[in-house]
Amino acid sequence: MRQPLSSESTVNYIESMTVKRTKPVSLEELWAYEASHPVVFAAPRALAEARLIAALIRGKRVRRTRSKGKRTFTTTQVRKQLGLA
Amino acid sequence: MKEFPFQIKVAGATETAMLRFANQGELLRYHRSLAPFASQSFTAVREAVEFTRLAAKRWRYYSRADEAVESFEELRGKIKHAPKSEIAFIMVATIRQGRRDLPVGLAYCRRTWCHHLALDFLALHPRVLTQPRQMDGLGSGIVFSLVQLANALRIPRIWGEATVNSAPFYEKLLEVSPVQDLFVIEAPEMVAITRRQRKINAPALVK
């Protein structure tokens, strides 16, 4: 049996979005945290964009390499290959 | 050349690190210095190598479209010339070792059209990550230098997307909670970061 949707929200979103000031964090505490949690951060959108750029560059490089290695044939050579000449 | 100094602790002693704008040559040197770590399986090192390479590729892509800069003066000039433009740049953190500067981390930033600073990548160099507790305060130090850069350009806000890994770091650094998928550094947070950085020179920490 389907449950009726509750009209009352159990989470106060406005309250949860409020950022509160915490007690001062000492230098030692911050450095200890940094030592155990490596500072290597990337914004997800920036990371996605950077990966896309890297893929684009890689794609261009592959196309360039392929076009360099590509052999071209004259019409006569093609006809010979096909046994038409 | 404009540089933004910050204090770190290297093997227990306070040292000054520098954050400065990266140019093509500097990025290439940074890129080459990653090679010995490229095959490591430690997640943080693997990600640091990947993020740095991707950030450099992204920067070069924007550079070809004349949307990236290599110096503070160039950035200021571009803002003056086109106030609504988006400009990308990479800041490299270095420490002095003998007669050369050793790269220890980088930050990829964008000056947005409305004169804010977006932080897209923040990664320490694998040589730092493989020796935990050898250098303390690099990550927070780089952010402190970005605050200095923002002050120099009168940028009122630094922001970025936070992830499940970075959110707790920003909560501690900015002394706010909760940080979800967005962190914002404005005047009060800039003050907190600056206050903490100044404490590094305090006698209690210098041993």
Query: What is the interface pTM, i.e. ipTM, of the complex?
Result: 0.90
pLDDT(A84) > 80: no
Of A23, A33, A43, nearest to B161 by CB-CB distance is A43
Q: What is the pLDDT of residues A12-43, one digit of tens each?
A: 555 556 788 899 999 999 999 999 999 999 99
- Interface touch B58/A29, C-beta < 8 Å: no
Q: Is A30 on the interface with B (CB under 8 A)?
A: yes
| H or E segment and range at residue B128 | helix B126-129
Instruction: Work out the pLDDT band at B207, boundaries 50, 70, 90.
Output: very low
pLDDT confidence of residue A1: 54
Tell whether the model's pLDDT for residue A6 goes beyond 60.
Answer: no
Q: Averaged over A57-63, what is the pLDDT?
A: 82
Q: Rounded to 5 degrees, what are φ and ψ at A14?
A: -65, -40
Q: List pLDDT tens digits, range B8-26.
A: 999 889 999 999 999 999 9
Do residues B78 and B63 make contact, with C-beta atoms less than 8 angstroms apart?
no
Which of A21, A24, A37 is nearest residue B169 as measured by Cβ atoms? A37
Cβ distance A40 to B132 less than 8 Å, yes or no, reads: no
Cβ(B117)–Cβ(B88) below 8 Å: no
Q: Number of H helices and number of E strands within chain B?
A: 7, 9
> Which has more confidence, A25 or A10?
A25
CB pair distance less than 8 Å for B169 and A41: yes
CB atoms within 10 A of CB B66: 10
pLDDT digits (tens, 9 = 90+) for B80-126: 999 999 999 999 999 998 899 999 999 999 999 999 999 999 999 99
Residue B53 in tokens: 């390479």
pLDDT at A9: 47
Say yes or no for a CB contact (<8 Å) between A22 and B171: yes
pLDDT per position as a tens digit, B57-82 = 999 999 999 999 999 999 999 999 99
The answer to whether the predicted template modeling score (pTM) of the entire model surpasses 0.90 is no
B163: nearest CA in chain A? Answer: A43
The shortest CB-CB distance from A57 to any of B57, B140, B192 is to B57
Q: Where are the beta strands (DSSP E) in B23-150?
A: 87-97, 100-111, 117-124, 135-136
Question: Over 70: is that where the pLDDT of B205 sits?
Answer: no
- Residues from chain B contacting residue A36 (CB–CB below 8 Å): 132
Q: Which of B105, B121, B177 sits opposite A22 (nearest CB)?
A: B177
**Contact call for A35 and B132, based on CB within 8 A:** yes
Q: Does B124 sit within 8 Å of A38, measured CB to CB?
A: yes
* pLDDT at residue B66, as a whole number: 95
Report chain B's mean pLDDT, rounded to a whole number. Answer: 93
Residue B202 banded pLDDT, cuts 50, 70, 90:
low
Region of poorest pLDDT, from A41-50, A61-70, B109-118: A61-70
Mean pLDDT check: name the lowest of A4-13, A57-66, B43-52: A4-13
B40 contacts on A by Cβ (under 8 Å) = none
